[in-house]
Amino acid sequence: MGMFSEKPSVLLLPATVACIASYRAAHAIKSRSRVVELALRKPREEEWKSAYREASAQTDPLGEQTVVDGLNDSVR
C-alpha cells in the first residue's frame, strides 16, 4: 500500500467475503485489503492501456507525435 492509507468501511455479501478469503489463502496474500487492492488494480490498468492505445493512434506513421498548432503545411 501507499504511504498514506485510509480505512473505509464497506458492506459485502457473504459470498464475496468468502471469495476474498479463498483468494487470499490460495495466493498467500497477507490481508483482505490487499486482495481488494489487487482486484481494483486490473480495471485501472485496462483504462491506462486503453488511454495509451488512444494516444498512440494519434501518432503519425513515422512515429512522430502530431501536434496541431494552427499552422497548415504550406506555411511551414
For residue 26, tell me if it sits in a domain: yes
For residue 45, tell me if it sits in a domain: yes
Which ranges of the chain does DSSP label H, i.e. alpha helix? 14-26, 32-57
The confidence score (pLDDT) of residue 47 equals 83
- The rounded average pLDDT for each run of 10 residues, N- to C-terminus, in the chain (76 residues) is 78 96 97 94 83 74 59 56
The model's pTM is: 0.56
For residue 38, tell me if it sits in a domain: yes
Region for residue 63 given its phi and psi (left: phi exceeds 0; alpha: psi -120 to 50; beta: otherwise): left
The confidence score (pLDDT) of residue 48 equals 82
For residue 72, tell me if it sits in a domain: no
For residue 4, tell me if it sits in a domain: no
The confidence score (pLDDT) of residue 38 equals 93
Q: Provide the residue range defining the domain that includes 20.
A: 14-57
